[in-house]
Structures are given as structure tokens and as C-alpha cells.
Amino acid sequence: MSRNTVKPASAERAATEKRARTRRIVLRAAVDCIAEKGVAGATAAEIARRCGLSWGVIQYHFGDRLGLFLALLESSTESLARAFADLESTHPRLPDRVRALVEGTWALVASDRYRVMLEIELQLGRDAAHEAQVGKYARRARSKFLETWRKALPECPPSRVDDAAQLAIAALRGLALERAVEGSRSSKKPRREIVLGSVLVILGLDDA
């Protein structure tokens, strides 16, 4: 067979799936490592040990350690958009959709992945060499978050939706930090209801 022969589609697809699977394994190991040890403790050797791959294989997929962390920020941003994708069809009533958005935002900010994303932004953002790249991902994540709320609430004025979304994520992020200190059994449910009530007021739906 000639070296220039094009690979069969099935072989190309299998290779693509293998690359995607390897990336998922590495990203999951990086999340777990940073969640437990922080960015400083998430060394190349420790991440490689956790995912059972050589650092050379990880470099092939992500470049250096910074490339891996930036890929983690990017994947977190994309997963954010997917988290709210089906809200409109799942919850046709507007107040139910708003509740689902608030609860979805809570699930997001209380997750290991989100806390890891914040830690990467905080740690790398302090370094002038990385500040611009990290800032780009932070702005993209914020834009994606607002976009998901606007798409889920097309009946509401976009400016009100933006205000409601930003209040929700700021308040819920604070509750998530408290929960991280107090322990995972602390659900913060009553105070999440207060956040929901505030969001409904901003959207003009408090009487709905």
C-alpha cells in the first residue's frame, strides 16, 4: 500500500475517538489533582501518574503544563453552554425555566470543575506572562454564561436577563464557597430560594 493512501474513514474515526478519549482522561485527572492539591501541587508528574500516561503523551495532546490548564479552561467554558442547552423544551413555563437556570447555575458553581477553573484563573492571572490568555478565557466563559441565560429566556429583555444572571452567579458562587468550607452536607437550599426570588424580581416575574 502506498504511503500516500488515505486512511479509511473508520480508521480515521477511531483515531479521532481515541484522541478525544485520551484528552478527557487527562482533563479529568487534572481537575481531580487541582481540586485536591491546588495549581501548584498539580505537577506534570502527578497528573501523568493519575491518568496512567507518560508526560510525553500528555505533551503531544496539550503541549506544556500551561497548555493543559488553558485546555481545561476551554473545556469548562464549552461544558457550561451544554449544561443549559435543553431548558426551553424541558421547561415550557417561564418561571420553571428560571428556577432551572438558578439550580443549574448552583450545580455549576458548586462543582469541582468550576472551583478548579477559578483557581487556575486566580493563580495564572497573577502572572503577567499568562494574564492575557487567562483573561481571554475568563471573558469567554462570562459571555457563554450570559448567552445561555438569554437563549433560555427569550421572552425577557436581554438587559434584565444579564442583570439577573450576574446576580445569580455572584450570589451562588458565594454560597458555594461557604459550602466548601462547611462541608458538602450544607445544601444552602433556603438561601438559594432567596436568590431565586431576587432573580424573579429583576425579571419582573415575582407575581408569576
Cα(142)–Cα(164) distance, integer angstroms: 13
Cell 479521532 belongs to which residue?
16
- Give me the sign of the Cα torsion angle 195, 136, 62, 85: positive
**pTM reported for the whole predicted model:** 0.78
pLDDT in tens, the chain (208 residues): 455 555 577 878 887 888 889 999 999 999 899 888 888 888 889 999 998 989 999 999 998 888 888 888 888 777 766 777 767 667 889 999 999 999 989 988 888 888 888 888 888 777 777 888 888 888 888 888 899 899 899 999 999 999 999 999 999 999 988 888 887 677 788 999 999 999 999 999 977 6
Query: How many residues are given for the chain?
Result: 208
The amino acid occupying position 204 is G
CATH topology (fold) of 64-208:
Tetracycline Repressor; domain 2 (1.10.357)
H, E, C per residue of 102-120: HHHHHHHHCCHHHHHHHHH
Domain boundaries, the chain: 1-63, 64-208
Instruction: Write the class of the CATH domain 1-63.
Output: mainly alpha
